[in-house]
Structure 1
Amino acid sequence: MPQSTLLVVIDPTSDNQTALKRAEQLAVDTGARLHLFCCYQPEDIGDFHSRHDAKHTTLLELRDKLEALAKPLREEGLAVSVEPYWNQNWQESVVHACGRNGAGMVIKSSYCHRGFLQHLRTRSDFTLIRKAPCATLLVKEDAPWTNQRILAAVNIDTADAEHDMLNNVIVTEAQRLANATQSDLHLVAAMDHTANMADVLGLLEDEDQSRESAIAERFGVNLDRVHIRTGKATEAILEVTNDINADVLVLGTVARHGLQGALIGNTAEKVIDQLDVDVLTVT
C-alpha cells in the first residue's frame, strides 16, 4: 500500500473509536497520514441563540474532541490532521471530504446488523461504500490482525471485461494491504462447475491445469491459498472467511456499467452483515 491519506470517520456520539485504533495500526505499517473527520449537526438547536451560534459552538466542540484524539497519535510520530464539519448528511460529507483531502481509504467503525436492519439497503454503511471514491474499510472490532491473512473475493463466473477489471482492482488492493501488514493473501471464488477456466481467465487451454492453479497463475497467488467453491458466492465467502480465520475480507462493491446492480446487494451487502471480521470494499 503506497503512502496516502487515511480518512478516519470519527463518531461524535461515542467514546470508543474503533476505526481510529485500526487506522493507527495501518498508519504505523504504511507511513500514511491520518485525517480525522467528524461530521455532526444537532437536530434540535433550541438551546442556542441562533443557527450561527449552534454551528460555531458545535464546530468548536468537535475540533476539541478531534484534537484530543490526535494528540497521542502525533506524539507517536504520526502525521495527523483534523476536520470538524457541520452537516446532517454525514455520508455525503465523508464522500466530499475524500475528494478534498485526496484520501486513499476511508476507515469507519461498523457492526453486524441483524434481523430487519440487515435488509435495509439504505443503511449508512451501504450508502457510504456505494458512493465513496476510494476503498472503504469497515472495522468490526479493534483487536489487531493477528492471523495475518487477507482474503480477496473475486468473481470468475464470466469472462466480460467489467468483471475482469473489478477483479484486478480487488486483488491489487488486497495485495497492497497484505504487503503492508506482512500478511498472506488468499483468494476465494464461487463458480459454476461448467465454467471454462481458460475462457474466463483469458489463459491458454491446458488440460492438465486445475481450476485452482489457473487462478493462482492469473492473480499471482500461491496455489495453496486459492479456495474455489461451487455454489453461491455469499456462502463461499462466508465459509472460507471462517475456515481460514481471515483478519479482513476484500470485496468489490460498485462495478462499472451494468454490473453495479448485480454486485451491490447480491453479495457485498449480504456478506458484510454476517461477518465479524473487518471488510474492505473497493470500486
Structure 2
Amino acid sequence: MSIYNKILVVADINNDQQPALARAMKLASKSKSTSHVMFFLSIYDFSYDMTSMLSMDERDAMRRGVIHQREQWMKKVAEPYLSSDVEFEIKVVWHNRPYEAIIAEVFSGSHDILIKGTRTHDVLESVIFTPTDWHLLRKSPCPVLLVKSEYWPEDANIIASVHVGSENETHSDLNDRMVKQLTNLSERLDANSYLVNAYPVTPANITIELPEFDPTTYTDAVRGHHLTSMKALRQKHSFDEEQTIVEQGLPEDVIPEVASRLNAAMVILGTTGRTGLSAVFIGNTAEHVIDKINCDVLALKPHGYVSPLDPQTAV
C-alpha cells in the first residue's frame, strides 16, 4: 500500500514561506504513484459576524470576498513549490476553530497525513508548539507531521522512537507501523534511518526495601531483554545493527538527546492512544518528548484510535 499520497497541508497565514508545503511537495514528488496535495486554510474574523448593520447576505458576501483574497494569496505563495507531477488543490474555509476545521477536512477528504509548520524562536532556534499544534496531535485521526523549517538537509537522519520492551500488542503493532513509515520516509526524503529505544533505570528504592536485591544483575537483565527485542524488530524489517540505538533512561530524556546527537531532521513518535474521554490525550511520555525536540516531529496513532471529532461518533 502506498503511504502519504493524499496530503493535507495547513497554510501559515503569517508567512510567505511555507515549510509544510515544501515538505509535502518533496514527499509527493517522490511517490511511486500519483499524489494529491491540498493546501488548506481556516480563517475567521469575529467582526464580520457581529456587524448588526449588515444583512446576512451582505455578511456572506464579505466573507466570500475575504476567502477569495486568501485563495489568491495562497496561489501566489504556493507557486514556487508546485510540480506538474502532483495534483494540487487550494481550499479556504470560514471557521472560528482552526483545528476543528482542519480535522473535519481530514475526515471529509480521507487524507492520509496532515502536515503543518511550527513556529520557531529566532534566538534560541527552538520549536514552539502552538495550541492548534497540540489539538491536532491529540485529535487528528491520521499521522501529523509538524515541520520546523523549509530546509531539508542532505544525508539527513530520521529516528523512530520504538518501544521494544513491552509485549503489549498495541506497542508491537505501533512499532511495526513506525518502522514501515520510517523506511518509506527515509527513501522519499533521501535520509538515514535509526531505531531508538530507551529502557528504564533500576528504581533506587528497591535496593532499600530488598537488601538482597542485586541492581547490577537486574539492570543487565533489562538491558539484555531490550537488546534482544530490538534485534528481533530490526531483523524483521531488515535493518542493520548500526541503525539501532538502545540506551538507559526515560524516553523523554533519551530521545531528545539522541536526536540532538545525530542532528536528526525528524523524529517519529508513536502515541499510545486512548479511547473514550481520554482520547483527547496522546500520552504523557509522547508529550514530554515532543516538547523537548528541536526538529520535525511525526506523530502516529495506533490502530483503533477514534478521534473525539469523528463525525460518525458525534452525538
TM-score (norm 1): 0.82
Summarize the alignment of residues 68-107 of structure 1 with structure 2, pairs less than 5 Å apart: 68-74=76-82, 76-107=84-115
**Amino acid paired to 2:244:** V
Q: Mark the CA change 1:122 to 1:141 in structure 2 (over 3 Å): closer, same or farther.
A: closer
Q: Residue 107 of structure 1 aligns to a residue in which SS?
A: strand
Q: Deviation at 1:51?
A: 3.0
Query: Runs in 1 of length 4+ with deviation above 6 angstroms?
Result: none
Q: Which runs of 5+ in 2 are unaligned?
A: 201-218, 302-315
1:6 paired with 2:7, answer yes
Distance apart, 1:58 and its partner CA: 1.9
Cα 1:128/1:230, change in 2 over 3 Å: same
| 1:109 aligns to 2:117 (yes or no) | yes
Q: Percent identity?
A: 25
Deviation at 1:211, TM superposition (A): 5.9
Shift of residue 76, structure 1, vs aligned partner: 4.7
Residue-by-residue CA offset, 1:61-119 (whole Å, 9 max, x unaligned): 12212222344444654321111111011111111111222212111001358xxxx9x
Match of 2:29 in 1: 28
| Aligned residues: CA RMSD | 3.0
Does the alignment pair 1:166 with 2:174? yes
Query: Is the contact made by 2:256 and 2:293 (CA closer than 8 Å) also made in structure 1?
Result: yes
Q: In the alignment, what sits opposite 2:42? A: 39
In 1: Cα distance, 2:15 partner to 2:4 partner? 29
1:195 matched residue in structure 2:
222
CA contact (8 A) 2:22 2:81 kept: no
* CA contact 2:160–2:267 (8 Å) conserved in 1: yes
Instruction: Supply the distance in 1 between the matched residues of 2:113 and 2:96 (Cα, whole angstroms).
Output: 22
Query: Which whole-Å CA distance do the structure 1 matches of 2:223 and 2:271 have between them?
Result: 25
Question: How many residues get paired?
Answer: 268
* Aligned equivalents of 1:243, 1:74: Cα separation in 2: 34
Task: State the alpha-carbon separation in 2 of the partners of residues 146 and 75 from structure 1.
Answer: 21
Distance 1:190 1:40, change over 3 A: same
Q: Which runs of 5+ in 1 are unaligned?
A: 201-208
Structural mapping, 1:1-283, within 5 Å: 2=3, 4-30=5-31, 32-45=35-48, 49=54, 50-74=58-82, 76-111=84-119, 123-192=131-200, 193=219, 194-195=221-222, 212-257=230-275, 264-283=282-301
| 1:162-185 residue CA offsets vs partner (Å, 9 max, x unmatched) | 111221222222121112223221
Q: Secondary structure at the match of 1:36?
A: strand
Question: Tell me, what secondary structure is at the counterpart of 1:133?
Answer: coil
**Code of the aligned partner of 1:35:** M
Deviation readout 1:2-25 (Å, 9 max, x if unpaired): 461111100223323221122222
Task: Indicate the SS of the match to 2:159.
Answer: strand
Structure 2 residue aligned with 1:203 = none
Larger radius of gyration: 2
